[in-house]
Chain A
Amino acid sequence: MSVTKEQVLATAALCRLDLRPDAAEDPAEADRRLERLAAQLDAVIGYMDILNQVDTENVEPLYSTLRDPAPPRADLTEKKRTAAEILANAPERRENFFVVPPVI
């Protein structure tokens, strides 16, 4: 299989990445970059297909090597940090709120 530029752009939309941030200034360079990215991803995804050589019939997937399931914690609230601490790294804030661009 091969990964196309269109697929790369569709994937980028899913993970909120603008792959052509400078397209307005230099469209040719933006195209070359996308082309290169698609070729690199195609090579990597193409390589992944070797997994099909492994017989995994009746094998359960392993998502974590943890032997014991995570022990539950007591359901207690704790106030670890102040609003000021939480807001200290905010790019923009007003009173005790994060300020964000328009949502709708």
Chain B
Amino acid sequence: MASVRMHTLTEIRDNLAKGGIRPSEVLESCLARIAQTEPRIHACITVCAEEAKERAAALEAEGPSDPPKALWGVPLAVKDVLCTKGIRTTAASRILGNFVPPYDAFAVERLKSAGAIIMAKTNLDEFAMGSSTEFSAFGRTANPWDTSRVPGGSSGGSAASVVAGQCFGALGTDTGGSIRQPAGLCGCVGIKPTYGRVSRYGAIAYGSSFDQIGPLARTVRDCALLLSVIAGYDPRDATSCDAPVSDYTAAASRVGLHGVTLGLPVEYWSEGLSGETEKVCRAAVETAAGLGAEIREVSLPTLPYGIAAYYILATAEASTNLARYDGMRFGLRVPRGDLAESYAASRAKGFGEEVQRRILLGTYALSSGYYDAYYTKAAKVRRLIAEEFAKALERCDALLAPVSPVVAWKPGSLPDPLSLYKMDILTIGLNLAGLPGLSLPAGPGGESGMPVGLQIFGRAFDEAGIIGIASALEAALPALGAPEGIGDAGFNE
């Protein structure tokens, strides 16, 4: 069984398509691994084993089409913030604890039409608000490399599931780094596509002008394959773009970086990086240079203000998006007095502390008397940051930066919310600018042995470009291997 789960998504897909293994065999292997690792990792909120088995049986009865579908028979996990028809979708919140959507999110529809099997809904920080997957109403997820540490977040369940070998790939969402940062801290590949690249239809909204759905998997090629399936125009999302979709898997064949100019924004490489993070990431830059890339320093002078701008704009959007949860048409209801009192009681009981904090922050920033000082000001700073990124990307094909200032930390080790928000400093700039970014494992940290991630930022809709660069680098960077010792005693790993 272990041999099945150690394959890449692309390998297992190819083997399924040529009849070397059956979908139900692959699924059984994944479900066994889930049973084996969940007691320690807790990556999943819901494991839909029965639905997945029925689906595998149905696929087997049909057999692969000719040519085979892109993901025929491949078991995948989906962050529990994407709606799945008939399968509970909670956003890791008590307020949606029993919510069963009557429809699939666009990205889920795409996976299903490509022949994939949705096997599990993964854990996250409630409503994707967090960087550690500690703030879930369903308990925290652990990092597969060291279960006493966080997996990052908010797509921490997806990253941990992929790295623990539970699934071959997963979907996450990235509002301020929520795909790239857990991918970096757990040691897998994650792509945050350009804003508008993947339809957000059926994604439970946090910050609508930032949210973007993307893949996490163990290799660049696997992520490229998943992105090829989910990218595209969808009229049901008014912010979905009708830009052509490149062949991302072809881009993942790049070897060498000759003729490529990579920028190092000084603001990302200056202060605040831990010693081991800086060392591993600098070594990765050397590797890029060794592959033929020209490295040049660039500057994004407004970036240090990104945290403040992001936490005003994203919480403002969140405060309006989450106004819909009132316990009347769906979700948790706490009856108390009249309608308004029931709203307030339902929301108090349904939302966790961090979500309440962000709703309050956003409401404050949007309230009369503070709107211009905070919300409008933040939106102006956002434009400056977006323009600085665009300018840097005129001179460079892509930019490189560490994913997180430190490796995965211990739960509860950050003293207050502001300290946690500041951990997002290296990821949020990209969301403010709406650009695509990829997180690539750069090697283990010298002190902790924990994964360190490198980000590659690209021009709008140039996912193919950053996939190519990542692919060339991936082959040359130190491999992490797979974490050991996370299976329950009694199971043969």
Contacts and interface: CB of A to CB of B under 8 A. Distances in A.
Interface of A: 3, 7-8, 11-12, 14-19, 21, 37, 40-41, 43-45, 47-48, 50-54, 56, 59-68, 70-71, 73, 80-81, 85-86, 88-92, 98, 100-104
A64 B211 CA distance: 11
Given A15-B360, A51-B378, 6 more contacts: A48-B312, A48-B378, A62-B386, A66-B241, A91-B333, A101-B336
15 contacts: A11-B364, A16-B326, A19-B348, A37-B360, A41-B360, A41-B361, A43-B417, A44-B311, A61-B379, A61-B382, A62-B386, A64-B209, A80-B103, A85-B102, A98-B328
B480 interface: no
A17 to B, nearest CB: 5
Contact of A59 (B307, B339, B384): B384
Nearest to A102: B338
Nearest to B236: A73
A48 B422 CA distance: 12
Contacts of B377: 51-52, 56
Q: Is the interface of A mostly helix, strand, loop or mixed?
A: loop
Interface residues of B, number: 73
Contacts of B242: 68, 71
B384 A100 contact: no
Given A17-B356, A101-B335, A54 B384 contact: yes
B359 A17 contact: yes
Pairs of residues from A and B, 7 with the lowest C-beta to C-beta distance, nearest first: A65-B434, A61-B379, A89-B330, A62-B383, A70-B238, A91-B333, A56-B380
Nearest to A46: B418
A45 B362 CA distance: 10
A89 B100 contact: yes
A41 B357 contact: yes
Nearest to A20: B348
B421 interface: yes
Given A11-B360, A66-B241, A56 B100 contact: no
Contacts of B418: 40, 43-44, 47
B192 interface: no
Contacts of B348: 17-19, 21
A21 B28 CA distance: 46
Nearest to B208: A64
Given A51-B308, A67-B460, A90-B329, A37 B416 contact: no
Interface of B: 98-100, 102-103, 195-196, 209, 235, 238-239, 241-242, 302, 305, 307-309, 311-312, 319, 323, 326-333, 335-345, 347-349, 351, 356-357, 359-361, 363-365, 367, 374, 376-384, 386, 416-418, 421, 433-435, 460
B417 A44 contact: yes
Contacts of B367: 11, 14
Contacts of A37: 356-357, 360
Interface of B is mostly: helix
A36 to B, nearest CB: 10
Contacts of A88: 100, 102
B235 A47 contact: no
Most chain A CB within 10 A, of B302, B305, B380, B435, is at: B380
A56 B386 CA distance: 14
Contacts of B360: 8, 11-12, 15, 17, 37, 41
A16 B347 contact: yes
Contacts of B305: 50-51, 53-54
A96 B239 CA distance: 33
Most buried by B among A52, A63, A104: A63
Given A65-B433, A90-B329, A54 B302 contact: yes
Contacts of A52: 377
A44 B362 CA distance: 11
A88 to B, nearest CB: 7
B383 A61 contact: yes
Contact of A81 (B102, B333, B351): B102
A89 B345 contact: no
Nearest to A85: B102
Contacts of A11: 360, 363-364, 367
Contacts of B386: 62, 65
B108 to A, nearest CB: 16
Contacts of B332: 91
Contacts of B323: 15-16
Kindly name the residue among A21, A51, A62 whose own CB sees the greatest number of chain B CB atoms within 10 A. A62
Contacts of A68: 241-242
